[in-house]
Amino acid sequence: MADLETFRSETRAWLDANCPAEMRQPVRDEEDVYWGGRRAKFKSAAQKSWFEACVAKGYTVPAWPKAYGGAGLDPAQAKVLREEMSRINARPPLSSFGIWMLGPALLKFGTEEQKVHFLGEIARGEIRWCQGYSEPGSGSDLVSMQTFGEDKGDHWVVNGQKIWTSYADEADWIFCLVRTDKANKYQGITFMLFDMETPGVTTKPILLISGNSPFCETFFDDVKVPKDQFVGEINRGWDVAKYLLGHEREMISGAGGGDRTSAIGSAMLRHTGELDPILRAELAMFDVDALAYGAMGEKFLDEIKVGKAHPAQPNMMKYAGTELNKRRHELFMSAGGSRALEWDSEETGGGKTPRGWLRTKANSIEGGTSEVMLNVISKRILELPGD
Ligand SMILES: Cc1cc2nc3c(=O)[nH]c(=O)nc-3n(C[C@H](O)[C@H](O)[C@H](O)COP(=O)(O)OP(=O)(O)OC[C@H]3O[C@@H](n4cnc5c(N)ncnc54)[C@H](O)[C@@H]3O)c2cc1C
């Protein structure tokens, strides 16, 4: 305990010295988020210096081992760092599918060579990844995916199409599910890694109702993938894919803190003054549920620490966290009245409220839909029948 308090005061001093004031402001737009990668550019000197300080300290991936670019923090220390960063509203120095999704899968299934190479690149923000799972016709039923890799001895030739590939047009590499055995549904998928600049890879952005275009259709036409660019075992990529999905769901649910768990009632009253009594009651109910969700997250984290995590926890967090976040944004819209529908005005920051509200509609779809989460919870926790 005393050690942890020493760690807390050292962390506080380090943050004071290294986190510039500009990096303690809320994220206002996409440019405030640093994704790293070959083509990345810093928005400001403060963003660059905060990122570089964190890389040097291992704080882009604090809980990863030092050998792979992390700081080797144990779960209790990592929690202290999160608390201290959130106390000063520090922005994440680096946002990355490599950190949230591929990294944990490589830590579990990767070879030592892959860990040193790819985890190091991810920690240093040198590579930006995208996720090639969904296909037209294979979303919830992911295992029916058809993209095929034909074995050509020292390489595969991959043909097929992925869809909803977030930031595929900005990513350097893709982690991708490819069928390598057509006769075997679950044990016929290989988890491949390849460069998005490989000849035969093309992307086409998809426009959303929010006016943004954050994801793409991704096409593979005779893409040559060397035979050593896979994770886990050939034809056993489904194990890696499922493990990664657990981490993706945790990330989407905002487990372990973040503004999804915080109460909004008093903040909203400050901004909007007197509120309709029905809305007031809805706010109070939301705040109670948000606090309960926060407590559930803490409980799950403690259970993970002592090795007692239930495999369906990420699904429960994903379901509850994303439904809660949708309710939060519905309330912002209700409290804002007709003003909240403004899309373009300067006063509303370019329609921040409605655009944020529309974006949350995707929360309960991305990474597995709410209905599918409920199916998994009923099977794994309530032990109801089904595959
Ligand atoms: C913002 C966003 C980002 C995304 N990014 C990526 C990405 O980077 N890479 C990637 O590969 N994919 C990505 N996806 C795709 C996402 O994983 C899929 O949209 C999701 O898995 C659902 O699949 P689907 O869209 O094909 O819907 P479907 O599977 O066709 O589902 C349609 C409806 O049927 C319901 N349904 C389906 N099966 C069942 C069932 N068994 N029981 C009850 N109800 C069911 C669903 O709940 C849903 O309401 C992204 C999606 C979004 C919204």
Percent of residues in the chain assigned helix, strand, coil, to nearest 5: 50, 15, 35
Residue 256 has pLDDT above 90, yes or no: no
**In this predicted model, what pLDDT tens digit does every residue of 92-111 receive, in sequence order?**
999 999 999 999 999 999 99
pLDDT for residue 29: 80
330 in catalytic set? no
DSSP for 2-28?
Answer: HHHHHHHHHHHHHHHHHS-GGGGSPP-
317 in the same domain as 232: no
Residue 57 has pLDDT above 70, yes or no: yes
Q: What's the pLDDT band for 275 if we cut at 50, 70, 90? A: confident
pLDDT for residue 359: 86
The residue type found at 355 is R
pLDDT for residue 272: 56
Say if 7 falls within a structural domain: yes
What tokens appear for 284 in the block? 């109070």
pLDDT for residue 166: 96
CA atoms lying within 13 Å on the CB side of residue 195 = 6
Mutation pick for ligand 1 pocket among 369, 370, 375, 379 (CB with most ligand atoms within 8 Å): 369
Residue pair 294/228 in contact by the 8 Å Cβ criterion: no
DSSP for 29-86?
Answer: SGGGS---STT---SSHHHHHHHHHHHHHTTTSTTS-GGGTS----HHHHHHHHHHHH
227 in the same domain as 267: no
Say if 122 falls within a structural domain: no
Last residue of a domain, one of 178, 204, 236: 236
* Domain enclosing residue 316, as ranges: 254-380
pLDDT for residue 326: 93
Residue 38 has pLDDT above 50, yes or no: yes
pLDDT for residue 260: 47
pLDDT for residue 255: 44
Q: pTM of the entire structure?
A: 0.92
Say if 103 falls within a structural domain: no
pLDDT for residue 263: 60
Could you tell me the CATH number of the domain that includes residue 260?
A: 1.20.140.10
pLDDT for residue 188: 97
265 in the same domain as 226: no
**In this predicted model, what pLDDT tens digit does every residue of 146-157 receive, in sequence order?**
999 999 999 999
pLDDT for residue 268: 62
pLDDT for residue 252: 86
368 in the same domain as 259: yes
Percentage of the chain surpassing pLDDT 70? Answer: 93
Say if 117 falls within a structural domain: no
373 in the same domain as 307: yes
Mutation pick for ligand 1 pocket among 134, 169, 251, 358 (CB with most ligand atoms within 8 Å): 134
Give, using CA atoms, the residue closest to atom 5 of ligand 1: 166
**In this predicted model, what pLDDT tens digit does every residue of 106-127 receive, in sequence order?**
999 999 999 999 999 999 999 9
Could you tell me the CATH number of the domain that includes residue 67?
A: 1.10.540
Q: Which residue has the higher pLDDT, 62 or 1?
A: 62
pLDDT for residue 265: 60
183 in the same domain as 276: no
pLDDT for residue 144: 95
Domain count, the chain: 3
- Write the burial class of residue 298 (CB in 10 Å: 0-12 exposed, 13-18 middle, 19+ buried): middle
Last residue of a domain, one of 70, 95, 120: 95
266 in the same domain as 191: no
Residue 258 has pLDDT above 50, yes or no: no
Q: Give the active site residue among 84, 121, 135, 248.
A: 248
Give, using CA atoms, the residue closest to atom 16 of ligand 1: 366
360 in the same domain as 280: yes
pLDDT for residue 306: 84
226 in the same domain as 268: no
Q: What's the pLDDT band for 257 if we cut at 50, 70, 90? A: very low
Could you tell me the CATH number of the domain that includes residue 214?
A: 2.40.110.10
Give, using CA atoms, the residue closest to atom 48 of ligand 1: 369
Average pLDDT over residues 276-288: 90
Mutation pick for ligand 1 pocket among 372, 375, 379, 384 (CB with most ligand atoms within 8 Å): 372
Q: What's the pLDDT band for 269 if we cut at 50, 70, 90? A: low
Percentage of the chain surpassing pLDDT 90? Answer: 70
Cβ neighbours of residue 315 under 8 Å, at least 6 residues apart? 249, 368, 373, 376, 377, 380
291 in the same domain as 195: no
Question: Which residues line ligand 1 at a C-beta cut-off of 6 Å?
Answer: 130-134, 139-140, 164-166, 215, 362, 365-369, 371-372, 375
Residue 358 has pLDDT above 60, yes or no: yes
Q: How far is the CA of 219 from the centre of ligand 1 (A)?
A: 19
204 in the same domain as 309: no
Say if 105 falls within a structural domain: no
288 in the same domain as 170: no
Average pLDDT over residues 196-203: 98
